[in-house]
Structure 1
């Protein structure tokens, strides 16, 4: 009996190009359907994501998967938020304009900054937040590279400032961000500590905002971890640069000479 033939490179390329149309929408060799929730998770929090146009073509974008995990997730493709893009945001804007003395603005936009309210201060037990309003929260997130996200946030401020409050997760701009080699949840090099993918950021926020937030966070993180695991399989081991090797050798020789003189 003849042994089965190994797939040719052309066959492999064709396999990689085949897309899973039934669920995750990814190439079939990195399909994540088995990790996705059987039905999108319903949340009391509405999530609105401004998705940069460049991210639509990026293979490591997490927003497409996030939208398959969550039922109340609206994606707006663009570079700024403005009136007329979202009925939900338009209604918040209109209500704020009608009554500027509203005691609680129910929209939060996530972006690190010195003026941002730490997310640890947002909770159902927080006396400054009406528990009824907590059931009607809207979380706004900017999805793109760090540079793009900052541009998108600044461009959207004139619209958001009337009805939304800036919040942030823990971050430290003085500490370098991690890479896929540092964590099983990081897909791309992050600019500084505390930065994370949109998928992880939303999961961390829902942990605080939702009554069953820990469970929701766990389900989303499970999908992200599987995505990172697939990506890690395609990475080649990092080789030290030649200049670094020479520098290390020179330092070691210097130490040896110093020791012999002593």
Structure 2
């Protein structure tokens, strides 16, 4: 009897239809319930700046990765899947370039605010190249370290204002639904980093930044609608705090 039941279950499983995959929008390549076509520009925005995003291969698995939205919104944005920047990734005639990454003791960086006063923004005929590394913080450090041989000599390291590794990172997703936690203060998503940088270096930077941030906010709003608020976990008290608490209870 048990063998017959097992056989029946096996046959039922074999005859059951395969699970349906989510339908994707043919324009923005996102699931239909979170389609962003209504906030993406009807035609990608042209920019004088060329944007080159080096995306770690693992990032393509993350559903909340914002790099595809950069390519959908900007005409001159190119994404390459690689663990480091290689020379053949660059244009034949390498233009003046900046790459976004926080400073280190051995590799200082200028902030976006300081960038305004440099001659890099006075380019006339040759557009500026913006290089961005899209990965987790751990992988991004590895990618930049592996790319330094190519980056040296033609590019300037630039960081966003407010980067501080001593401060706990927040979330660009302003909600009790933290969709993706940033590693430390000043870190943002790839889309927001590109938006803030273009806001400084593009002639119509405010307009470009406004469009990109609008896309990001709508993505967050739609995504948050499918998640339930999660109560924060109670943090474990240190042993010293436990001891103080026990002593207080004894006194009371």
TM-score interval, smaller chain: 0.7 to 0.9
| Residues 1:52 and 2:56 aligned together | yes
Provide Cα deviations, 1:162-195, integer angstroms capped at 9, x if missing partner.
2111111120110000136646997411110000
Structure 2 CA distance for partners of 1:256 and 1:193, relative to 1, 3 Å: same
Deviation at 1:121, TM superposition (A): 1.3
Structure 2 CA distance for partners of 1:112 and 1:29, relative to 1, 3 Å: same
| Residues 1:76 and 2:66 aligned together | no
8 A contact 1:19–1:26 mirrored in 2: yes
8 A contact 2:191–2:212 mirrored in 1: yes
Find the partner of 2:132 among 111, 131, 141.
Answer: 141
Structure 2 unmatched ranges of 5 or more: 1-18
Find the partner of 1:236 among 188, 211, 228.
Answer: 228
Match of 2:98 in 1: 108
Structure 1 unmatched ranges of 5 or more: 1-12, 93-104
TM-score (norm. length: structure 1)? 0.77
| Residues 1:91 and 2:96 aligned together | no
Match of 1:227 in 2: 219
Structure 2 CA distance for partners of 1:214 and 1:78, relative to 1, 3 Å: same
8 A contact 1:50–1:77 mirrored in 2: yes
| Residues 1:32 and 2:17 aligned together | no
Give, in whole Å, the separation in 1 of the partners of 2:113 and 2:178: 22
8 A contact 1:185–1:228 mirrored in 2: no
Give, in whole Å, the separation in 2 of the partners of 1:134 and 1:256: 74
Q: Spell out structure 1 runs of 4+ moving beyond 4 A.
A: 180-187, 242-245, 247-258
Match of 1:18 in 2: 23
Deviation at 1:79, TM superposition (A): 0.4
Match of 1:206 in 2: 198
Give, in whole Å, the separation in 1 of the partners of 2:195 and 2:214: 10
Structure 2 CA distance for partners of 1:19 and 1:144, relative to 1, 3 Å: same
Q: How large is the RMSD of aligned CA atoms in angstroms?
A: 3.1
| Residues 1:218 and 2:210 aligned together | yes
Structure 2 CA distance for partners of 1:134 and 1:91, relative to 1, 3 Å: closer
Deviation at 1:204, TM superposition (A): 0.2
Give, in whole Å, the separation in 1 of the partners of 2:84 and 2:65: 18
Find the partner of 1:162 among 145, 153, 160.
Answer: 153
8 A contact 1:55–1:61 mirrored in 2: yes
Structure 2 CA distance for partners of 1:250 and 1:241, relative to 1, 3 Å: farther
Deviation at 1:111, TM superposition (A): 0.3
Match of 1:66 in 2: 70
Q: How many residue pairs end up in the alignment?
A: 229
TM-score (norm. length: structure 2)? 0.80
Give, in whole Å, the separation in 1 of the partners of 2:29 and 2:99: 28
